[in-house]
Amino acid sequence: MWEWMAEDLQYFDRKMSEVFAVMEENTILKECLAYTKNAGGKRIRPLICLLSAESVGGSREDATDVAISIELLHNASLIHDDIIDNNYIRRMKPSNPAIYGEEKAIIMGDFLFGISCMMLARCKDARVMEIVSRAVSEIAEGEYLSFNLRYSDEVSESFYLKVISLKTASVFKASAEAGAVLGGGKEEDVRHLRAYGLNLGIAYQIQDDILDIFGDPSTIGKPVGLDIKNGERTILMIHALENAGKEDRDFLMQILSGELPVTEDHIKRIREIMLSTDSLRYATELAESFVETAKMHVSMMKNTHSQKMEARKKLMFIADWSMKRMREQMIVYT
């Protein structure tokens, strides 16, 4: 399905490589950029930025520097996430901290943040600089608040959604909003694209949370159960705790508190509890609802010029692809 967007991906990768090529070489830069280029992924966030610019009648060239800034910001946050989560595998490859060690990885993440700021400054648009800079602070705030998800016995769905809106969806939101502004979009279109990014980002995190327990390790590119080992209260765990019987709830709390080790047998039992409480179905339907809301905002945009419509169709495609990706990478289908 991604063949339709192959040219968009090639354009972005080419532009990012051109930027890297003219930068002064030094050891940390070389290692950072090599890891970024080899990390893989679909470049969802920068593509959203480019397509948002086109969807309001602008050109992707207007948004390229900011799209690169956003991709570097995303990669920097992944490095720090992997350190916090003790994650040594990403996309079936060793993660940055697994390759370089945590001390170097922290510095490399900071370095990528710095280059991201340099690229952002090239746009010379104060509003866009504020939009992307706000996303940086929201990522940090969301990461900080996420510790409450790990250590609080009572976590609500609304608090969970607040955390992932900051930690994950903020970059999606900034990508779409910045692209719309750079493309010269009217305020109504900017608002719709901001909402598109926010809702898609929330859906994307819910999908990742589902794959962490129900995903196929050979396709998601990392071991399952990492959220459970880290004591995360994802939407599946929150729903299961609210709907499980006393024995199962006590077991889940023992796992989350670290009283019981996270073994393969225990992960299997957790899956069974999440299925018996309809937590998997609930989380899947919740993700679908956010995807549909994201698509609705794109469909509400006015002016049906062919260039704009092509970009909007691609934004819709990305939203639909996110659900398809989740279903294809799951072990359990319901």
| Spatial distance between the Cα atoms of 317 and 112, rounded to a whole number of angstroms | 29
CATH 3.40.50.300 fits 2-328, yes or no: no
Query: What are the Cα distances from residue 93, in Å, to 63, 79, 251?
Result: 30, 13, 33
| Spatial distance between the Cα atoms of 233 and 320, rounded to a whole number of angstroms | 26
Q: Where are the domains of the chain?
A: 2-328
Q: Is pLDDT of 70 > 90? A: yes
Strand partners, 89: 94
pLDDT tens for 135-187 read: 999 999 998 898 777 777 777 899 999 999 999 999 999 999 999 999 999 99
The alpha carbons of the chain give a radius of gyration, in whole angstroms, of 20
Maximum C-alpha span of the chain:
61
Which residues, 6+ apart, have CB-to-CB distance to 278 below 8 Å? 239, 243
CA nearest to 77, candidates 11, 1, 140: 140
DSSP sequence for 20-69 = HHHSPP-HHHHHHHHHHHHS----HHHHHHHHHHHHTT--HHHHHHHHHH
Handedness of CA 201, 281, 233, 266 (dihedral sign): negative
The token duo for 91 is: 């996309």
φ, ψ at 114 (rounded to 5°): -65, -45
Q: Is pLDDT of 333 > 50? A: no
pLDDT tens for 240-249 read: 999 999 999 9
CA nearest to 86, candidates 198, 232, 187: 232
**pTM summary value:** 0.92
Q: What is the pLDDT of residue 303?
A: 73
pLDDT band for position 91 (cuts 50, 70, 90): low
3-state secondary structure 155-197: CCHHHHHHHHHHHCHHHHHHHHHHHHHHCCCCHHHHHHHHHHH
CB–CB of 53/183 below 8 Å? yes
Q: What percent of the chain has pLDDT over 90?
A: 62
Q: What is the DSSP letter of 95?
A: -
| Rama region for 91: left / alpha / beta (φ>0; ψ in -120 to 50; rest) | left
